[in-house]
Structure 1
Amino acid sequence: MTRPVLIFDSGLGGLTVLREARYLLPDEPLLYVADDAAFPIGRWPEPELKARLLALFERLIEAHQPKAVVIACNTAFTLAGSDLRSAHPDVPFVGTVPAIKPAAEQTSSGLISVLATPGTVRRTYTRSLIDSFASQCHVRLVGSDLLAEFAERHLRGDTVGDGDLLTEIEDCFLERDGKRTDIIVLACTHYPFLANRFRKIAPWPVDWLDPAEAIARQLMRVVGDAHPRSAGRIQDRAIFTSQPDNPALERLLAGFGLTLLKGGSPAFD
């Protein structure tokens, strides 16, 4: 059995990480898993969401025996990452957390914003990152209920208006004591798909920190030496928990080099 690298997200956002992972690890088979049946997961009550994630990964790991797991979702990892590592000590987990540390290292003005889902904004994990790495900065946390859905619509070719996007990001821009926000952390893997739109509508230029490359580099450190690469390239696959029969989705995934598995999966039967 060829053991894949499993990349998990609630929807399409983790494709930003998959793209970088394939570039850095071109011979590793990739299995993309989207829990789209639960999307958007940021609106779930935390106890129910954690229970769902633990049960889902129990089935996924048993069915697919991944050599490593990337949780390409800030909400999922900050909520359940520690429990998942405890439950599966033999599986390396690469997590996604808001890129607050590099933002604090790179800012010139000392004004940073973190654009995230409401779940990530209210999580104690996020606050502890600020206390540990950005205590000398003014960090504004901005939670959006809609941006992940807007990113999914944008990626699928649906219209998303500039005004709707600006409403969700405008609180990120702060002027204080003659200084302006100069770095915005994209603390959801969906958001980089909208980054070019953000640049066009932003009231002034800022750096938008995309975590995808850093996540992929950590994955490379995890699997690069410990696991030999596959001798031959096999087709990368995708599983969506809603088990959709959607030709448009299949075409979109094909553009990312993925084949959508349909008709049930050992993880969800």
Structure 2
Amino acid sequence: MTVAPQAPILFFDSGVGGLSILAPARALIPTAPVVYAADSAGFPYGTKSEAEIAARVPALLGRLVERYRPRLAVIACNTASTIALSHVRAALDIPVVGTVPAIKPAALTSKSRVFGVLGTDATVRQPYVDRLAAEHGADCIMLRHGCAALVQLAEAKLRGEPLDPAIARAALAGLTDQPGGDRMDTVALACTHFPLVEAELAAAASRPLTFVHGGEGIARRIEFLTQGQPWPDVPAPGIAVFTRVDDHVRALAPALARYGLNRIEQL
């Protein structure tokens, strides 16, 4: 299949979390045209049922692919990936990259053999998380905690709002207060929103913790799947498309511009 240089990479998330995937991808492929899509009308995903997400995500991605004709789509959302990735791949005729919770790097990194998985409620309860732990961390204790408030904290941070440090403290306490939590040395950030507040999590920790996530690995996968394809000579302004544009979305404009997304559209 011939790919035009201007064919974009499509990044999809419920909100701004996928920017933690977009940034390393742009670092590897600086002139890649980008469409960043956020389902602001359906946000947040982490508190929705599996059935809702499995129906909503493929339908939205179908509309986005029809409008923007991307060369590749990235589901830059752990919740959507763990629930809807197979449905999306069945529905689309372009390559689709999912976002896997960073359990393998967490298990490899942990010296104490106790690591945490911090994600949304919908992600941490998936059997997929247990399979990854059995495959890559069978000799480890894996603690898990779902924290919807941390998703809201990341969105607030990008809108430039004041942040409540108690939210990050409570998120970590959800792991450290479990049996074995006093020995935990590594935390997999299993929601793409959470790397955006890694500094707040580190500041809230009572002892040094190592935080891992999958952004760089996903960027390398995008680079591999687009090997040999043409790109523009200079970066094009990126597009941020939302399923609902309201004051919360408009407040994100300065942060989106820092990620090279200079135009906001509504789907």
1:80 counterpart residue number: 84
Q: Please list the CA deviations of residues 48-104 of structure 1 after superposition, one character each: whole Å capped at 9, or x if unmatched.
A: 22111111111111121110111110000110101111222x311111011111111
AA aligned to 2:119 is: A
- The offset of 1:105, in angstroms, is 1.4
Find the counterpart in structure 2 of residue 7 from structure 1: 11
Aligned to 2:236: 234
On the 8 A contact 2:238/2:263 being kept in 1, the answer is: no
| Amino acid aligned to 1:152 | E
CA 1:120–1:175 in structure 2 vs 1: closer, same or farther (change >3 Å)? closer
Secondary structure, aligned partner of 2:60 = helix
TM-score (structure 1 length as normaliser): 0.91
1:118-160 deviations in whole A, cap 9, x for unaligned?
Answer: 0001111111111111111100111112110111112211122
Segments of 5+ residues of structure 1 without an aligned counterpart are none
Greater Cα offset, 28-37 or 167-176: 167-176
TM-score if structure 2 supplies the norm length?
A: 0.92
CA distance in 2, matches of 1:43, 1:194: 19
Distance change >3 Å, CA 191–CA 178, structure 1 → 2: closer
Could you tell me how far apart the structure 1 residues matched to 2:224 and 2:51 are? 32
One-letter amino acid of the counterpart of residue 11, structure 1: G
**Identical residues among aligned pairs (%):** 38
C-alpha RMSD of the superposition: 1.9
What is aligned with 1:40? 44
Shift of 1:163: 1.7
User: CA 1:207–1:48 in 2, change beyond 3 Å: closer, same or farther?
Assistant: same
Work out the CA distance in 1 between the residues paired with 2:240 and 2:66: 17
Q: Using the alignment, how far apart are the partners of 1:9 and 1:50 within structure 2?
A: 14
**Partners in 1 of 2:146 and 2:251 — Cα distance?**
30
Which stretches of structure 1, 4 residues or longer, exceed 4 Å deviation after superposition? 174-179
Task: Say whether 1:20 aligns with 2:28.
Answer: no
Deviation at 1:176, TM superposition (A): 6.8
Matches within 5 A, 1:1-269: 2-88=6-92, 90-173=93-176, 180-225=183-228, 227-244=229-246, 247-262=250-265, 264=266, 268=267
Q: Distance in 1 between matches of 2:144 and 2:199?
A: 21
Superposed displacement of residue 175, structure 1: 8.4
Q: 1:234 to 1:99 in 2, by over 3 A?
A: same
The gaps in structure 2 that reach 5 residues or longer are none
SS at match of 1:36: coil
2-structure distance, mates of 1:251, 1:105: 37
